[in-house]
Amino acid sequence: MRIISFTLSLLMLASVFAGCLEDTDDSSEPTDQDPANATLIVVNSEWNSAGTDEYPILNEIFNSKQLIDVIGFLDQNTNGEVATQEDATSYAETNGIEFPFTSLQSNEYDIYSSDIEGLPYYAILFSTSCDTISSNQLYLGNLNDLIEMSEEWVLCISGEGNETNDEEEVNLQEGDLIPETNSHAYVDNSWINYSLSESINTSGNHHIILFTNTDCSYCMVGNSDIETYAEQYSVDVVYIMAGFQSASWSNTSREEIVAFRNMDNFSGCGKDTNCDSRDGNPHNWTYVDDLQDINMENWGVIGTPTAFIVDGDSKLVWHPEQHRGDENSDDEDLGQGLERILG
Query: Average pLDDT for consecutive 10-residue bins of the chain (343 residues)?
Result: 38 50 47 64 94 90 77 95 95 96 90 88 88 81 83 71 41 91 92 94 95 88 93 96 82 94 92 88 96 91 90 95 75 93 92
The pLDDT value recorded for residue 167 is 39
Query: Do residue 334 and residue 209 come from a single domain?
Result: yes
Instruction: Identify the three-state secondary structure at position 316.
Output: strand
Q: How far apart are CA 107 and CA 121, in angstroms?
A: 14
Query: Do residue 41 and residue 138 come from a single domain?
Result: yes
Query: Do residue 208 and residue 68 come from a single domain?
Result: no
The pLDDT value recorded for residue 325 is 62
The pLDDT value recorded for residue 17 is 46
The pLDDT value recorded for residue 129 is 82
Residue 75's domain comprises: 35-162
The answer to whether residue 252 sits within a structural domain is yes
The pLDDT value recorded for residue 315 is 96
Q: What angle do CA 222, 50, 56 make, to 5 degrees?
A: 30
Query: Do residue 211 and residue 100 come from a single domain?
Result: no
The pLDDT value recorded for residue 248 is 73
Q: How far apart are CA 286 and CA 183, in angstroms?
A: 12
Q: What angle do CA 234, 235, 238 make, to 5 degrees?
A: 145
**Alpha carbon separation from 293 to 35, 186, 192, 214, 260 (Å, rounded):** 26, 17, 18, 14, 18
**CATH, residue 73:** 3.40.30.10
Could you tell me which residues are beta bridge partners of residue 129? none
